[in-house]
């Protein structure tokens, strides 16, 4: 029962490749956006870069408003 529950837990943080897959863009394109500070906000743990699911969703909404 507990294992079943653990499989339903969604991650709060995504790696750059996971976020890129979610956005339907290449990992390289997302790294370019991040380097230009045009991508979603990131969280750094030493050399590791993570993007929160919440921040990614907010960034997507913001992009929808910008492109209008």
**Structure confidence at residue 59 (pLDDT):** 96
By residue count, the chain amounts to: 68
Number of domains in the chain: 1
**Structure confidence at residue 65 (pLDDT):** 81
Q: Is 55 among the domain residues?
A: yes
Q: Is 18 among the domain residues?
A: yes
Q: Is 5 among the domain residues?
A: no
Q: Is 57 among the domain residues?
A: yes
Q: Is 1 among the domain residues?
A: no
- Residues near 16 by Cβ (< 8 Å), separated by ≥ 6? 27, 30, 31, 34, 49, 51
Tokens 């750094």: give the residue: 44
Q: Is 2 among the domain residues?
A: no
Domain span holding position 27: 11-66
Give the domain CATH number at 57: 1.10.10
Q: Is 35 among the domain residues?
A: yes
Give me the helices (H) in the chain, please. Answer: 2-7, 16-23, 27-35, 53-66
10-residue stretch averages of pLDDT, the chain, 68 residues long: 68 97 98 96 96 97 80
């Amino acid at each position: 029962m507990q294992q079943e529950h653990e499989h339903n837990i969604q991650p709060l943080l995504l790696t750059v490749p996971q976020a890129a897959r979610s956005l339907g863009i290449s990992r390289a394109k997302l790294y370019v956006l991040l380097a230009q500070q045009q991508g979603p906000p990131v969280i750094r743990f030493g050399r590791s870069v993570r993007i929160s699911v919440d921040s990614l969703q907010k960034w997507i909404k913001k992009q929808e408003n910008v492109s209008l």
